[in-house]
Amino acid sequence: MKVEFSGSVKFSGAVVAPVFTNNRHSTGADALDKATGGAISRAQKASRFSGKSGQVLQINAPSGLDAQLVLLCGAGERDAADALVWEAFGAYALKSVQLSGAKTLVFDMRDLDAPASARAAFGALLAAYRFDKYRTTLKDDKKPSITSIRIICSDASAAKRSFAPLNETAQGVELARDLVCEPANVLHPEEFAKRAQSLEDYGLEVQVLDEKDMKKLGMDALLSVGLGSNYGSRLAVMSWFGAKDRKAPPLVLVGKGVCFDTGGISLKPGAGMWDMKGDMGGAAAVTGTMRVLAGRKARANVIGIIGLVENMPDAAATRPGDIVTSADGQTIEVQNTDAEGRMVLVDALWYGLTRFKPSKIVDFATLTGAIIIALGHEHAGVFSNDDALANALDAAGKSSGETVWRLPLGAGYDKQIDSKYADMKNIGGRGAGSITAAQFLRRFVGETPWAHVDIAGTAWKDKSDDPREPAWATGFGVRLMDRFVAQNCED
């Protein structure tokens, strides 16, 4: 998608202008109304449109204007319109006209400042996302027609400057969504590691550990998950040293990258199993975030570590009851091979902690179905041993729109994963499944400030009311961590 900002008023294709509460026109909406001899305000009177955020009103081919259509898009109270409102404004606009036949979407925001214009463009980019690469029979009228966005705004060069980092964020979100959407016959652990490696093009340092390397380090918890797979397990480490002091302790991000989760020998039911191609949503979020940080040259040291495996049933697969030793020496009784994400994470966390001595460590994982029962698809679950870190994630969630909700940890939950035969077992009782999973991770992180983000409900969803998100892979975590780094880690 081509995006440009301009100070000159020139129309073509689809033209959109903001309208505020009680049908108050922006300067752009007023100008369009005049040019069309009042057609815009007549259309407003004839409809229930009032300028609320989320409302759109389309007027096709109005006379007096060189445009295919005019779109009014609500932005709510003018004084209350913040970054997220402008994102939604841009996203609703793009969504409304994406298939209209118009090639260009022109935003008339001539009376609005640079941040608002940049956010509208960002929202439009997020909304434009599609995963059509495997569709060979899509009819022409079902294909997106918009290929460029032009934003008329008060200060085009300032808007361009504030859009530049957001453009990187949009591309990181797109990368995460693409990775989640890719089927597991294409995006298996070896292929994912290659795609991580290719991020060297953006200036990241990338190192990939194969099974031999991990075996040497004793990472049998992670390796136990991939024993049934025809693909080799991998650990990809993406490093970005953007702080003034390259030696300053980094933020480490860890992602669960189960490229497909059949459940292993504790096989999942067939219905809906196809969604488990997305069980690498944590690794996708980390990879997308690293892409953004390098793209916008974040002034922070951040390491992204993704544990890449495929969980398959096989004669060589881990059995329920097997006992494995993690890299830090603790033993785990695998009572359920479908509770595999935590097995991957603890060795990846160990690698991050011992190799990088981070200031903080945050993991992302589509870890438990139970988090969907608790929080639905609205918030990701956060668990932490550090109040300041949990609060910082909450704040980053609120300002990015990727919201999180903290859940408790405690000794009573921890006890539920004690095992008769080993240091711990990999499942707790029937209740509080997301908490006992977090409690399992807690046993491996010591005193380093740590947070675990369970994104099983937010990495993908069957339908979304948010125009920035497509119907499936959301890329959840990229905007959150991009914000988090900007608010907490940059010098």
Q: Which residues contact 143 (CB under 8 A, 6 or more apart)?
A: 99, 132
Integer Cα distance of 491 and 305 in angstroms: 22
**Which residues in 449-468 contact ligand BES (CB under 6 A)?**
456
Q: Which residues contact 136 (CB under 8 A, 6 or more apart)?
A: none
Burial 67-101 (b: 16+ CB within 10 A, else e): bbbbbbbbbbebeebebbbbbbbbbbbbbbbbebe
Region near Zn ion per CB under 5 A, out of 3-11, 275-283, 393-401, 439-447: 275-283
The answer to whether residue 402 forms part of the interface with ligand BES (CB under 6 A) is: no
216 catalytic residue (yes or no): no
Q: Which is nearer to Zn ion, 304 or 341 (CB)?
A: 341
Integer Cα distance of 11 and 366 in angstroms: 45
Strand 450-454 vs strand 380-384: parallel, antiparallel, or unpaired? antiparallel
The β-bridge partners of 3 are 149
Strand 234-241 vs strand 205-209: parallel, antiparallel, or unpaired? antiparallel
- How many residues in total does the chain contain? 491
Integer Cα distance of 476 and 167 in angstroms: 17
CA dihedral 250, 293, 382, 265 (to 10 degrees): -90
Smallest separation (angstroms) from ligand BES to the CB of 272: 8
Q: Please pick, among 119, 256, 291, 342, the residue that the annotation labels catalytic.
A: 342
Smallest separation (angstroms) from Zn ion to the CB of 268: 7
**Planar angle of CA 483, 259, 327, nearest 5 degrees:** 80
The answer to whether residue 419 forms part of the interface with ligand BES (CB under 6 A) is: no
**Planar angle of CA 213, 214, 219, nearest 5 degrees:** 160
The answer to whether residue 338 forms part of the interface with ligand BES (CB under 6 A) is: yes
The answer to whether residue 108 forms part of the interface with ligand BES (CB under 6 A) is: no
The answer to whether residue 368 forms part of the interface with ligand BES (CB under 6 A) is: yes
Smallest separation (angstroms) from ligand BES to the CB of 340: 5
Smallest separation (angstroms) from Zn ion to the CB of 459: 11
The answer to whether residue 432 forms part of the interface with ligand BES (CB under 6 A) is: no
Q: Which does 370 bind (CB under 5 to 8 A by kind): Zn ion, ligand BES, none?
A: ligand BES
Region near ligand BES per CB under 6 A, out of 68-76, 282-290, 318-326, 336-344: 336-344
Q: Which is nearer to ligand BES, 120 or 455 (CB)?
A: 455
- Are 288 and 281 contacting, i.e. CB atoms less than 8 angstroms apart? no
Q: Indicate which single residue of 116, 427, 435, 486 sits in contact with ligand BES (rule: CB under 6 A).
A: 427
Integer Cα distance of 28 and 10 in angstroms: 12
Q: Which is nearer to ligand BES, 225 or 478 (CB)?
A: 225
| DSSP result, 367-379 | --THHHHHHTTT-
CA dihedral 380, 386, 392, 398 (to 10 degrees): 30
**Which residues in 290-349 contact Zn ion (CB under 5 A)?**
338, 340-341
Neighbours of 155 (CB within 10 A): 15
- Are 116 and 58 contacting, i.e. CB atoms less than 8 angstroms apart? no
Region near ligand BES per CB under 6 A, out of 147-155, 179-187, 203-211, 366-374: 366-374
Q: Which is nearer to ligand BES, 369 or 410 (CB)?
A: 369
Smallest separation (angstroms) from ligand BES to the CB of 374: 11
Q: Which is nearer to ligand BES, 184 or 427 (CB)?
A: 427
- Are 257 and 192 contacting, i.e. CB atoms less than 8 angstroms apart? yes
**Which residues in 253-292 contact ligand BES (CB under 6 A)?**
261, 279
268 catalytic residue (yes or no): yes
Q: Which does 368 bind (CB under 5 to 8 A by kind): Zn ion, ligand BES, none?
A: ligand BES
**Which residues in 202-261 contact Zn ion (CB under 5 A)?**
258, 261
Helices 478-488 and 156-181: angle between axes, nearest 10 degrees: 130
Q: Which does 433 bind (CB under 5 to 8 A by kind): Zn ion, ligand BES, none?
A: ligand BES
Q: For residue 29, give the 3-state DSSP assignment.
A: helix
Q: Which is nearer to ligand BES, 257 or 433 (CB)?
A: 433
Cα separations in angstroms, 338 against 45, 264, 283: 57, 6, 18
Write down the residue that tokens 């940890």 correspond to. Answer: 409
Q: Which is nearer to Zn ion, 182 or 340 (CB)?
A: 340
Fill in the per-residue mask, 140 to 179: x = in contact with ligand BES (CB under 6 A), - = not in contact. ----------------------------------------
The answer to whether residue 370 forms part of the interface with ligand BES (CB under 6 A) is: yes
Smallest separation (angstroms) from ligand BES to the CB of 367: 6
Q: Indicate which single residue of 111, 174, 178, 279 sits in contact with Zn ion (rule: CB under 5 A).
A: 279
The answer to whether residue 180 forms part of the interface with ligand BES (CB under 6 A) is: no
Region near ligand BES per CB under 6 A, out of 26-34, 102-110, 339-347, 481-489: 339-347
Q: Which does 328 bind (CB under 5 to 8 A by kind): Zn ion, ligand BES, none?
A: none
Q: Please pick, among 52, 78, 195, 268, the residue that the annotation labels catalytic.
A: 268
- Are 120 and 151 contacting, i.e. CB atoms less than 8 angstroms apart? yes
Phi–psi pair at 458, nearest 5 degrees? -120, -15
Which residues are catalytically annotated?
Answer: 268, 342
Binding residues (CB under 6 A) for ligand BES: these are 261, 279, 336, 338-341, 366-370, 427, 433, 456
Binding site for Zn ion (CB under 5 A): 258, 261, 279, 338, 340-341
